[in-house]
Structure 1
Amino acid sequence: MKYKNQEEIGSFLGDWCGAHLQNDAGLGKIDVVVPVPLHPKKQKKRGYNQVALFAQKIAESLHAEYRDDILVKGVNIKSQTKKDRHLRWESSKEAFCVNPDCNLNFRHVLLVDDVITTGSTMESCTRALLQLEEVDVSLLSMAVVQQG
């Protein structure tokens, strides 16, 4: 999906996952679904954010707002696929910030990414979101890489 221009896979997975999340009483009311952003240069090169369509379908299923303008990736990090856990954490710990120009009227954010490898990206995004007053953050990813 990410490297082979298979963006439509996100739609299928979003519909499937969204149907399951509708029945998850433990999740609570989600106000807004936010995809982990790409750096503008990377998005321009790829042509799309691989997690956007997935997040949009999740938002539809949960009757939540989809917002891709809340988080901003300010640092263009090269692919982290070959980096170890510590290097991933170091390079992404301050890579994301909240967009000061957007309307931030929500309480519960569902942050969505395609894959969690070490958790450093989700941690950095969550850290930025939690700087907002009275905001709860839940995390969702399409896949998790088993460490071992």
Structure 2
Amino acid sequence: MILLKDLFHLFYPKLCVVCDTSLIENENVLCTLCRHDLPLTNFQDFTDNKVTQNFYGNIIVEKGFALLFYRKKGSTLQLIHDLKYKGNEDIGVFFGNWLGEMLAENQEFKDVNFIIPVPLHPRKLRERGYNQVTKFGERLSFYLKIPFINNELVRISSTKTQTFKSRFERFNHSDTKFHLKNTAKFNNKHILLIDDVITTGATLEACAKEFLKAENCKISILTMAYTE
């Protein structure tokens, strides 16, 4: 069996998402050089950083974190693009394992009750075939021992892709709406909302406001990247 696996990788080697070099044993998604070159945010304070500050005056975010900075060019953009549009869900697993291990160690989200992904509209989900943050959330759930729930918050409006809109247009796009099926389920609970990238934060804010309809519900936010 090992021989067959080695032969398969000989003819179909796994390649680094960023630089296309062949990955060696123990490398996954990225080669070691590209991984070390990632633009880490290095946010030290989970209660006061660019993620939490993004929502000041709109909603209260207990804790927030993003692993990488997202820029117009570079490795983070390539990773997120391949995750969302090329079906490479291994990238979600990669980020989930990375952040899961880190957060299990530092215990920053130890009092969270549920991990909730930003949902796709059903039509978009059918077209893409997957939600790009599902694997991410499942791995976080594994490491943090917190339930991952992807069927309580639903998206009830569909928007065109945000990629080529200006920041002002994205922030002011008010058509994106969400619905929480069972508000009472989240009374007195702490929710960790997850997504791939924070751009303006408008989508995450809309999701959070649904949960804030529950009594004494607290919100924290975790993403793979933050737009610099």
TM-score (structure 2 length as normaliser) = 0.59
Give the secondary structure class of the aligned counterpart of 1:123: helix
Gapped runs of 5+ residues in structure 1? none
Q: Does 2:168 correspond to 1:86?
A: yes
Taking the aligned partners of 2:195 and 2:169, their CA distance within structure 1 comes to: 19
Higher Rg: 2
Q: Could you tell which deviates more after superposition, 103-112 or 70-79?
A: 103-112
Code of the residue aligned with 1:137 in structure 2: it is I
Q: Does 2:103 correspond to 1:21?
A: yes
Q: Could you tell which deviates more after superposition, 15-24 or 89-98?
A: 89-98
Give the secondary structure class of the aligned counterpart of 2:196: strand
Q: Is the 8 A contact 2:153 2:180 kept in 1?
A: yes
Question: Residue 10 of structure 1 corresponds to which residue in structure 2?
Answer: 92
Q: Is the 8 A contact 1:93 1:120 kept in 2?
A: no
Taking the aligned partners of 2:184 and 2:121, their CA distance within structure 1 comes to: 18
Q: Does 2:112 correspond to 1:49?
A: no
Summarize deviations over 1:75-131 as a string: whole Å, max 9, x none.
Answer: 011101122233223324651121249954761111000011111111111111111
Q: Does 2:136 correspond to 1:136?
A: no
Q: Is the 8 A contact 2:186 2:211 kept in 1?
A: no
Selected match of 1:74 from 148, 156, 174: 156
Gapped runs of 5+ residues in structure 2? 1-82
Taking the aligned partners of 1:121 and 1:54, their CA distance within structure 2 comes to: 18
Taking the aligned partners of 1:84 and 1:97, their CA distance within structure 2 comes to: 26
Identical columns (%): 38
Code of the residue aligned with 1:134 in structure 2: it is N
Give the secondary structure class of the aligned counterpart of 2:224: strand
Question: Residue 116 of structure 1 corresponds to which residue in structure 2?
Answer: 198
Q: Is the 8 A contact 1:32 1:106 kept in 2?
A: no
Instruction: Give the paired residue count.
Output: 146
Q: Is the 8 A contact 1:70 1:99 kept in 2?
A: yes
Taking the aligned partners of 1:53 and 1:106, their CA distance within structure 2 comes to: 27
Q: Is the 8 A contact 1:96 1:128 kept in 2?
A: yes
1:8–1:105 distance in 2 versus 1, CA, 3 Å? farther
Q: Could you tell which deviates more after superposition, 27-36 or 113-122?
A: 27-36
